[in-house]
Amino acid sequence: MPIILRNLAHVILATAFTLGIASPAIAGADSSNPAGKPPGPKENRRTLIEAQKSDNALTAEQQQQALGFARTQHPELADLLEKLKEANPKEYRNALQELFRAEQKLHRMADQNPQRYALELRLWKVGSRIRLHMAQLVMEGEGAQDENLQALLSERRNLKIDLLQFDRAKAVERLTNLDRQLEQLQRDPEGDLAKELAKLKQTAGKQARVEKMKRNAAKAGGKPGAEQKPKKQAEDKPDSGTRSDADKDS
């Protein structure tokens, strides 16, 4: 799953530094372009990525959808984002974009593969909590408690095992189906070739008749079937077997 802001520690550090909580030394340690140094390839690539993100800005509805996903699946993350909104609007927008992409990917998976979706969602939630604890370790240093982090890492490992077992079971099911089809074809090499050939000839014959009708219609300058319509006789032409009123008067 994508990492919000590539590393959630950057989110907390950005928030803390803007609010004046983090020390300048910690915040400055993440600076990627010291003063006086010309921008290099990494800086240019980062600028391009930022420009692409600005072009793909989320709508207000999409932002609320991303926040709703965070509130439902990881409330602590949602609280952090609310603080980041005031502290650093740019990083807040970037975080929402990452979160929205994760939500959309999981949403599509929920429709296509509900069982895998359940595992992937649990894995995302555990991963999000791990990143939050990692950020707290960065902030608190060696004095931070890591018991919860160890438990989360163990849970993530077990979820990865469950996910691999699920994928393996699906692969075995698909392989079994392929083996069954292969066995059927190899058991009777000729199979229903005669029936298939007759069906193809019948289809080709129908298409040939349709094409012939189209060609005849094109030659006649009309639509298919136009030559079959009877010609309309002139209404003012008298019948050859009856006399006109003028002949009667004479």
Chain-centre distance of CA 176, in angstroms? 29
pLDDT value, residue 55: 46
Token representation of residue 95: 């975080």
Domain annotation covers residue 42: no
Say what the pLDDT of residue 28 is: 40
pLDDT of residue 121: 94
Specify if 22 maps to a domain.
Answer: yes
Q: What is the pTM of this model?
A: 0.54
Let me know if residue 244 belongs to a domain. no
- Domain of 91 in residue numbering reads as 8-26+52-173
How many other CB atoms sit within 10 Å of the CB of residue 107?
13
Confirm whether 213 is domain-assigned.
no
**pLDDT score of 20:** 39
pLDDT for the residue numbered 56:
64
For residue 179, being part of any structural domain is answered with no
C-alpha closest to that of 58 among 6, 3, 97: 97
What's the token pair of residue 248? 């009667």
User: Which structure tokens are listed for 239?
Assistant: 């019948």
In a domain, 45, yes or no: no
CA neighbor of 98 nearest in space, from 129, 58, 51: 58
Segments of the chain with pLDDT less than 50: 1-7, 9, 13, 15-38, 48, 51-52, 54-55, 224-228, 230, 234-235, 244, 246, 250
Instruction: Round to whole Å and give the CA distance between 242 and 230.
Output: 24
Q: 5: left (phi > 0), else alpha (psi -120 to 50), else beta?
A: left
102 within a domain of the structure (yes/no): yes
CA 202 – CA 215 distance, rounded (Å): 20
- pLDDT at 169 (0 to 100): 95
Give the pLDDT confidence score for residue 134 in this predicted structure.
82
Q: Please give the pLDDT value at position 165.
A: 96
- Identify the pLDDT of residue 34: 41
**Does 36 reside within a domain?**
no
**φ, ψ for residue 192 (rounded to 5)?**
-105, 40
Q: How many independent structural domains does the chain possess?
A: 1
Which residue carries 């099911």 as its tokens? 173
